[in-house]
Amino acid sequence: MFLKRFAILVASTAMLSAPSLAEDQTPIVSGEDEFMWNCAECHGFGGRGDGPLAEVLIKKPTDLTQIAKNNVGVFPADTIFAMIAGRENVVGHQSFQMPRFWQRFQQTEGERGFDKPEVRIKAIVDYLGTIQAP
């Protein structure tokens, strides 16, 4: 268990410190807009897990405003980044219904108006950090 957790930590840390990830890079599209276009259909426009697709999914999409609350008040940005990228499996996701956005965003990488996956996912993670319930 510890080892697995540790491996995940190392993996996500390594990924986050990849040279292509510029901390201060301003994304072309805001994290909020990325969220509305890519996530809201399942997770809901307010991130509460009540998007229009939620009822046809086998698993209920997570209420993303409760992430910090469920993690002793700390928003685990690195883990969330890895989950969205599809690099960290979410516990109990054998029938994984959450798209792997790293691969999805790679398909448009380099096209005009589209950032690299790491920039887009980081923008989304930052946005999620702002919608956490107190």
Distance CA 53, CA 45 (A): 12
Residue 93 binds ligand HEC, judged by CB under 6 A:
yes
Q: Distance between the two ends of the chain, CA-based, in angstroms?
A: 30
Among 12, 44, 65, 67, binds ligand HEC (CB under 6 A): 67
The residue of the chain with the least Cβ separation from ligand HEC equals 39
**Closest by Cα among 124, 73, 116, 74 to 98:** 124
Query: Which residue among 12, 27, 65, 80 contacts ligand HEC (CB under 6 A)?
Result: 80
Cα 51 versus chain centre, distance: 16
Q: According to the binding rule CB under 6 A, does residue 105 interact with ligand HEC?
A: no
Q: Could you tell me if 101 and 35 are in contact, meaning their C-beta atoms sit under 8 angstroms apart? A: no
Compute the least distance from the CB of residue 46 to ligand HEC, in Å.
13
User: Interface residues for ligand HEC in 25-64 (CB under 6 A)?
Assistant: 38-39, 41-43, 53, 57, 59, 61-62, 64
